Amino acid sequence: MFPNRIILVIAVIISLAAGFAGGVFITKDESVNSVDLFKKVINQEADKPNNLDFGLFWEVWNSVQEKYVDKNKLDAQKMLYGAIDGMVESIGDPYTVFLAPAISKKFEEEISGSFGGIGIEIGKRNGVLTIISPIKNTPAYNAELKAGDKIAKIDSKSTANMSIEEAVNLIRGKKGTKITLTVVTKESDPRDVTMVRDTIKIPTIEWKLIEENGSKIAYLGIYAFNQNIDSGFKKAAEEILKSDAEKLIVDLRNNPGGLLDSAINLAGWFIDRNEIVVIEEFGNGTKNEFRADGNATLKHYPTLILINGGSASASEILAGAIHDNRKVKLVGEKTFGKGSVQELQKFDNGSSLKVTIAKWLTPAGISISDKGIEADIKVEIAEQDIKDGKIEIGELGKDPQLDKAIELLK
């Protein structure tokens, strides 16, 4: 539907970049002899802002070129990329980023479901580099990194003022190599966590039948909305329909999101055709409504949805759609709050711009970005229980949120 539209908290996997400014392309070894032609030009193109003098940019550029002491350190291409980075970063939106060609492949790898690293999605919360969710059965997951952990250092390098893209580059590396993250959990002291990088396969979905006190409940875990989710969900849903399941628990915890189309497709299994899945609100106030186009095949099951601070983006959209349309209860903890739309614009030299073009609202009109989605029934998991190894997500008796959902469905 929208091949260039994404709703990832991307965190961990993005970046592209470009080599154009004011219509002038600058290669690495090329000096800009024609800069003087532009120094006094204001708004040469009709669609540029009024009263903005780009001559200052060129004055600074010339001054650096003429006066900087170590001229061998001046790289025109890097300087240009830095200027564009600074322009985009000044907006203050961590999801609007200028991405360099060398990193664009990493973005494609995440969308396709396979990449190298430690298996975390990262974003920014209050300007701090934060783990959105660890991906199941990866080095990060096995090292017990958690949603909400703050990353203070990457291999001893401070993350203060570090972009998401720079962090991605530092975290990812060759399979078999070690990496150390210094992380802070809530108010605890920083701790170093060393992991060995591995090839990461993003799981998409799994389900099992839980029989408890005479109830037969299908437990459906959805881990990501990547290119494999539609076929995987269809297979799981058909198996559930053929099983003895009488009730359904949908687990969206630690699901960092992914493709919008997939969130809409999955919603069609739970809500009636033509019901609103999500509303897209643009800066000019216009709105688009995305509606379900399925047969609500799973609607007849009494259902609960599990969420937590690692539920973001597409998983928030799906949870909000089912909750608002069917009044299905949400169990667990407040979601991450990543409800914005990024459009990927590609340039001829392989660089790209990922820019936020809209915000997502639930069918009830709640902005996901501003607040996240609150759980109807709050069940917090104690940090100490996690540290003590008492928590195992998806396992009865070791997962308080799942246990509560089963109790409510009895």
For residue 353, give the nearest of 343, 361, 363, 362 by alpha carbon: 343
Produce one character per residue of 63-77: b if its CB has 16 or more CB atoms within 10 Å, e if not: eeeeeeeeeeeeebe
Check if 124 is active-site. no
- Which helix (H) or strand (E) covers residue 128, if one does? strand 128-134
For residue 250, give the nearest of 365, 325, 324, 328 by alpha carbon: 328
Q: Which residues contact 127 (CB under 8 A, 6 or more apart)?
A: none
Check if 324 is active-site. yes
Tell me the two tokens of residue 44. Answer: 């040469």
The catalytic position among 15, 133, 311, 313 is 313
Q: Are 17 and 349 in contact (CB under 8 A)?
A: no
Element counts in the chain: helices (H) and strands (E): 11, 22
CA 148, CA 139: separation in Å to the nearest integer? 17
3-state secondary structure of 25: strand
The catalytic position among 324, 351, 352, 354 is 324
For residue 279, give the nearest of 308, 309, 320, 315 by alpha carbon: 320
For residue 97, give the nearest of 1, 224, 9, 2 by alpha carbon: 9
Query: Please, what is the end-to-end C-alpha distance for the chain in angstroms?
Result: 40
Fill in the amino acid letter for 385.
D
Number of Cβ within a 10 Å radius of residue 338: 28
For residue 312, give the nearest of 125, 151, 98, 103 by alpha carbon: 125
The CA-based angle 298-111-136, given to 5 degrees, is: 65
The catalytic position among 136, 146, 338, 354 is 338
Check if 155 is active-site. no
User: Catalytic residue positions?
Assistant: 313, 324, 338
